[in-house]
Amino acid sequence: MLKLYPPIEARKTGRLKVTDLHEIYWEESGNPDGLPIIALHGGPGGGSNPEMRRFFDPEIYRIILFDQRGCGRSTPHSELRENDTWALVSDMEAIREHLGIDKWVVFGGSWGSTLSLSYAVTHTERVLGLILRGIFLITDAEIQWFYQDGASRLFPDAYDRYVAPIPEAERGDLLHAFHKRLISDNRQERLAAAKAWACWEGETISIQGPSSRPAKFEEDAFADAFARIECHYFVNKGFFEDDGWLLKQAAEKLKGVPGIIVHGRYDVVTPLSTAWALTKVWPDAELHIVSDAGHSSLDSGIIDQLIRATRSFAKKFG
């Protein structure tokens, strides 16, 4: 079973002003002359973290991370204005041009897979290949499954904590009930909703269940940006033209683009059926199903397959 590479520090960091309102944090680590790879964090609103650097051999890869609009070290914090999928795609292009990169590998999990695919179908000529985990396409079916009541059948204890801030009369549409509170001027109400939303994901990402919830999901600043930005994107259906738009674009645009998809068999947050549907329309993608894993990128089987994927691409493009 392959393990993460040892921790490394960022070699270079910077801030890029992408609009009058937004300034994004980016960083670079690994080999400055290596194979460029951009790693996209989840959420949206989750922010990058140092462990993301550890999926790549620093002797081979030029590793680029950034905090998407409104989260992490990007500013303003938890900002919803000028914050949508296509703004983030534009930011990726701004970073690529700023760093003088012609083509790169794109790596992303969960929402990071959504953004990776959104970038790849609009800037296909800049993509060497895609390494994706926990495929998520922001379809109505996916949102209903996790944010309404589907996943409650597997995690009823965590689900009760999730819906606690919402009066029973509003629980028929949890997405919009949370959205109303997450954009509220009442800070106490907003933070209670944000923590409930964030902890729901934190308690379900691993097959270990609620006991393995990462501490950050209870932190005020993280939960506020994470919940507000996620809900903002989901209420707006990912800012796609219609339900299923991204899958249709992948079928049309990704022919000839190599991909490796890693997905946990017991992923409750982003069920395997979405990855399965994607591979049916994208024959150049390999799907690796991890039999004893959930959604977390740090489940041992997920780590193993992602490291194998980055090694495979290093041989292919290095």
Catalytic annotation, residues: 110, 267, 295
What's the distance, CA 219 to chain centroid?
19
User: Token pair for residue 295?
Assistant: 């959604």
Alpha helices (H) along the chain: 85-98, 111-122, 140-143, 156-163, 174-182, 187-204, 220-235, 245-253, 272-281, 300-317
Using CB atoms within 10 Å of the CB of residue 315, give its burial: 0 to 12 exposed, 13 to 18 middle, 19+ buried: exposed
For residue 250, the SS3 value is helix
**What are the angstrom distances between the C-alpha of 11 and each of 64, 107, 186, 200, 232?**
10, 19, 41, 35, 33
Residues with Cβ within 8 Å of 73's Cβ and at least 6 positions away in sequence, in order, are 25, 47, 67
Beta carbons of 204 and 295 less than 8 angstroms apart: yes
3-state helix, strand, coil in the chain (%, to 5): 50, 15, 35
Which residue do the tokens 């499954």 mark?
Answer: 145
CA 289, 134, 97: angle at the middle one, nearest 5?
A: 125
